[in-house]
């Protein structure tokens, strides 16, 4: 039961970390190519990794095992750690996050200036 729980926790952690890191690398690279300046500086990337690694590992590693883990068949020795379903989840979430981040990065200023609920600073 504990072994299956550890395997599931590692699998969840890998899926979360790969999603976050794929998005961070693509945002940094694409932003640097398009705007000639990376949207995420090196220190910001370190903080994102530190916070994401710490909280994700604590949250995903402290889940207690349940009896339902024993109802499924054990995984074989040759089963890949990142399954096809996990890869689809990672890519799907990454596309969603990249869409949101690039929208905010490239048209966020226009969206906020057109919104009536955003308080505009006084000039002058």
Tens of pLDDT, residue by residue over 18-35, are: 888 898 888 888 888 887
Over the stretch 68-117, which tens digit does the pLDDT of each residue have?
A: 888 888 888 888 888 899 999 999 999 999 999 889 888 877 777 765 55
Average pLDDT over residues 116-120: 59
Cβ contact 72:3 at 8 Å: no
Q: How confident is the model at residue 122 (pLDDT cuts 50, 70, 90)?
A: low
What is the pTM for the complete model shown? Answer: 0.72
Within this chain, do residues 54 and 108 fall inside the same structural domain, yes or no? Answer: no
Statement to judge: residues 46 and 96 lie in one domain: no
User: Does residue 4 sit in the same domain as residue 60?
Assistant: yes
- Looking at the structure, tell me whether residues 62 and 93 fall in a common domain: no
| The total number of structural domains that make up the chain | 2
Residue 18's nearest CA partner among 64, 60, 52 is 52
Q: How far apart are CA 52 and CA 98, in angstroms?
A: 17
Owning domain of residue 3: 1-67
Is 72 part of a structural domain of the chain?
no
């Amino acid at each position: 039961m504990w072994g299956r729980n550890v395997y599931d926790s590692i699998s969840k952690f890998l899926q979360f970390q790969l999603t976050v890191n794929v998005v961070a690398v693509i945002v940094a690279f694409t932003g640097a190519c398009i705007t000639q300046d990376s949207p995420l500086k090196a220190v910001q990337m370190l903080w994102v990794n530190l916070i994401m690694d710490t909280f994700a590992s604590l949250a995903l590693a402290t889940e207690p095992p349940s009896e339902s883990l024993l109802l499924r068949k054990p995984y074989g020795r040759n089963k890949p750690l990142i399954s096809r379903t996990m890869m689809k989840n990672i890519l799907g979430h990454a596309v969603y996050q990249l869409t949101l981040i690039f929208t905010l990065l490239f048209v966020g200023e226009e969206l906020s200036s057109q919104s009536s609920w955003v308080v505009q600073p006084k000039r002058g």
